[in-house]
Structure formats: C-alpha cells, structure tokens
C-alpha cells in the first residue's frame, strides 16, 4: 500500500469517526476518537479470535504496522502541535509561575522517574515478569512527563482558573524535553553505558538550553520578517517554515526540537500581535494553527486507539499493567506536591492545585512513541504493555472525569 493510500485511509477514518461522535454527542472530540478507534480494534481482535478470517485481521494488522507511530509523532506531528499550543500561551503568566513550572518540569520528572522505576523493579518478580532496574527506570522516564498534546487538548474541554491553567500548560510544554533527555540517558545506561552525573548534566545543557536558544533565535528572525511586511499568506507561510526549519535544525544540531518550537511559538505568539501582525493576519495565522492543531490531534488520538491492533499483550502482563496505573498516579502526586507545597510558603496557589495537577497529568502519544522506540530487549513487551495501559487510563478515565474533579476541589 502506498503512503498516499495510507494517509487517505487515516483521514477517512478520522473524518467518519469525528462525524459519528459529533452527531451522537458521545464524548469530547479527541477522547471520542480514541475510544472509537480502541473499540474498533478490540472488536476486530475479538472477531478474529472467535471467527478467524472474518475481518482479514492480518491485512488490517499489516496496514496499521505501516504507520511509523514513533516517527509520525516524534518527528512529525509533535513540532506542529507544540507550536500551535505555545502560540496561545500567556507569556506574562508563564513568567510569574516560572519557578513552579521549572521545578515540576525538572525535579518533578526526576522524582517521578525514581519512584516508578524502583517500585516496578521491586515488584516485577512478584508479578511474574522480569524487569531489571535500568529498564524499570527507563519506563519511569518515558511515562513520567505529561503529554503536552493530551493535556492541551483536554484543557480546551474544561474550565480552570487562569493561574492554574498557566501552570498546567507551562509544565506540560516544558517537561517533555526533560523527560526525553532523561529517557535517552537511561536507555544508554541500560544498554551498558555509564550513568554519569556530569554526562547527564552535559546532555541536559546541550539539549534543553541549546533547544531554547535555537528557538529564541529562529523565532526572533521570523518575528522580524513578519514585522517587515503585511501579507497574511506570506506570514502564515513564514510560521510554517519556522516550525519545520527549527525542528530540522534542532535535529541536525542534536538539541531539543520540542523545546525549540515551544520557545519560537511563545515568542511569535506574544510579540507578534503587539507590533508585527495586523488584525487580518492574526485572524488567518491563529485560525490556521488552530485548524492544524485540531486536525493533527484528531489523527493522533485515533492512531493511539488503532495501535492496539499491533500490540499483542501476554496475560502475564496483566498484573504489571494493573500496578502501573495507580503507581503513576502516586508518583505524579509526589512530583506535584513537593514544588507546590515548598513554593506555597512564599506565594499563594489556587485552591485544588495539587489534586487538579495530579489528576490532570495525562499521558499520550509521546509516551507510546518512546516505548515503541525502545531497542528489541526482553523487557520491551512488558514496558510497552504497561505504557499503553497508563496512556489509555489517563486519557479516557482521567480525561473524562477531570471536569468533575475540578468542580469538586476548585471552589
């Protein structure tokens, strides 16, 4: 099957499921697509088990396998989705909560990784699976950062105070960069490398600081270019080139592409409307990126649901999957509580900040993509199963109940 035909199938499925979900008013848009994709996958798997050949399972499996989920998410969609999300962030509010966001995006991720990794390692033998400490920590690193795509999509469906929304948005935009660096370091250590503190610090500086610096430079160049003209079609094209070019340069330089496009988006989104973008250009530019955000989010959530067609889980993984869900919640609570309680001695936080941040810590496509990118080691199947269980639980259960949690604890 050609790539064009594959894209056509995904777009037709996404449009069809979106229409059905909208007409029947079933669920919030993105979660509805995930549920429908997952439901369709489970129906096909059940039918194949009961009546082999009914849905030509092998052919469907082969089609889904043609989708390079890891490359599609990490090297494709992520750049556009992060830029679209960053465009609409309140930069002044972000600055006012810089210490909180920074602490949760760094220390919080490290603490969560350690808690999850140590518990999974300690419990693995009791659960009938074999996971070494290095690979347990790798799982902690890939599942600890909240997914910016999932969180930002959910925030569109619920209403929280501006201050709390700023913290949630800022943390999720920045903590994935820390998580990816930590993930890369721990994978290297698990494959026989050394876990050297200086090396970790060097990698973090290169990837995080280098990515932020690159985004600031390319974002400023694009901003100045937009300021010099008044033509919405060219300015939209410049923004598109900014995202693609920045991500490509970051990949070539070995710095964080996600962080680079976030910083570029923050710069253009905050400075552009003040003196570079006319009212007409703002309507087209922000409208274009809103549409890109909605379309790619829809495809991504559908893909997460369909991915279960190619992920074969062993019954022995059931206890590990069951343990992973509450464990990730406990680790998230610890990662959030520390910074908020400590900084709460110096400034006030909105009521319900800790429970909302804990329950709103959704995981999504990035975690699945990182799990799929693991080398073919014996622990990969177990870690992938646990990852998928956490992602599906957070998106469906936490995503659907977040509004109720907010109403209960934020008053």
Residue where the block lists tokens 């962080």: 259
* Ordered DSSP codes for 188-242: HHHTT----HHHHHHHHIIIIIHHHHHHHHHHHHHHHHHHT---HHHHHHHHHHH
pLDDT of 54 higher than 70: no
pLDDT tens-place string over residues 363-400 = 888 888 899 888 888 888 889 989 999 999 998 999 88
pLDDT tens-place string over residues 148-174 = 777 877 777 777 777 888 888 888 888
First vs last C-alpha separation in the chain: 54
* Token pair in block for residue 390: 């956490």
Average pLDDT score over residue span 247-266: 91
3-class state of residue 254 by DSSP: coil
Residue 299, Cβ density class (10 Å: 0-12 exposed, 13-18 middle, ≥19 buried): middle
All structural domains of the chain: 3-65 (no CATH), 69-299+315-409 (1.20.1530.20)
- pLDDT of 140 reads 94
- pTM here is 0.86
Average pLDDT score over residue span 90-119: 88
pLDDT tens-place string over residues 10-24 = 889 899 989 998 888
pLDDT of 265 higher than 70: yes
Residue 358: pLDDT band by 50, 70, 90 thresholds? very high
- pLDDT of 330 reads 95
Residue 411: pLDDT band by 50, 70, 90 thresholds? low
Average pLDDT score over residue span 335-362: 86
């Amino acid at each position: 099957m050609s790539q064009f035909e594959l894209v056509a199938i995904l777009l037709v499925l996404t449009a069809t499921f979106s229409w059905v979900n909208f007409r029947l008013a079933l669920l919030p848009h993105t979660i509805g697509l995930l549920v429908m994709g997952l439901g369709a996958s489970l129906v096909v798997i059940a039918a194949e088990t009961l009546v082999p050949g009914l849905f030509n399972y092998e052919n469907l499996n082969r089609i889904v396998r043609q989708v390079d989920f890891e490359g599609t998410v990490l090297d494709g969609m992520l750049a556009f989705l992060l830029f679209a999300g960053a465009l609409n962030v309140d930069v002044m509010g972000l600055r006012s909560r810089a210490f909180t966001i920074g602490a949760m995006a760094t220390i919080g991720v490290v603490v969560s990784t350690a808690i999850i990794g140590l518990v999974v390692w300690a419990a693995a033998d009791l659960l009938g699976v074999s996971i070494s400490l290095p690979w347990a920590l790798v799982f902690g690193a890939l599942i600890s950062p909240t997914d910016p795509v999932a969180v930002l999509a959910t925030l569109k469906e619920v209403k929280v105070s501006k201050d709390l929304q700023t913290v949630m948005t800022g943390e999720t935009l920045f903590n994935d960069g820390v998580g990816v660096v930590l993930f890369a370091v721990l994978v290297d250590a698990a494959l026989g490398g050394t876990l050297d503190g200086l090396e970790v610090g060097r990698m973090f500086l290169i990837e995080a600081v280098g990515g932020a610096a690159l985004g600031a430079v390319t974002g400023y160049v694009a901003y100045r270019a937009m300021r010099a003209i008044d033509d919405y079609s060219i300015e939209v094209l410049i923004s598109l080139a900014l995202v693609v070019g920045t991500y490509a340069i970051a990949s070539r330089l070995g710095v964080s592409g996600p962080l680079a496009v976030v910083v570029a988006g923050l710069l253009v989104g905050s400075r552009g409307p003040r003196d570079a973008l006319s009212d007409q250009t703002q309507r087209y530019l922000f409208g274009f990126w809103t549409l890109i955000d909605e379309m790619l989010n829809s495809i991504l959530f559908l893909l997460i649901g369909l991915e279960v067609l190619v992920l074969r889980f062993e019954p022995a993984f059931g206890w590990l999957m069951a343990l992973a869900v509450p464990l990730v919640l406990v680790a998230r609570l610890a990662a959030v509580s520390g910074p908020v309680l400590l900084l709460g001695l110096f400034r006030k936080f909105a009521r319900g900040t800790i429970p909302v941040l804990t329950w709103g810590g959704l995981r999504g496509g990035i975690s699945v993509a990182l799990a799929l990118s693991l080398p073919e080691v014996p622990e990969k199947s177990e870690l992938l199963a646990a990852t998928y269980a956490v992602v599906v639980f957070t998106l469906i259960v936490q995503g659907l109940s977040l509004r109720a949690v907010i109403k209960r604890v934020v008053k």
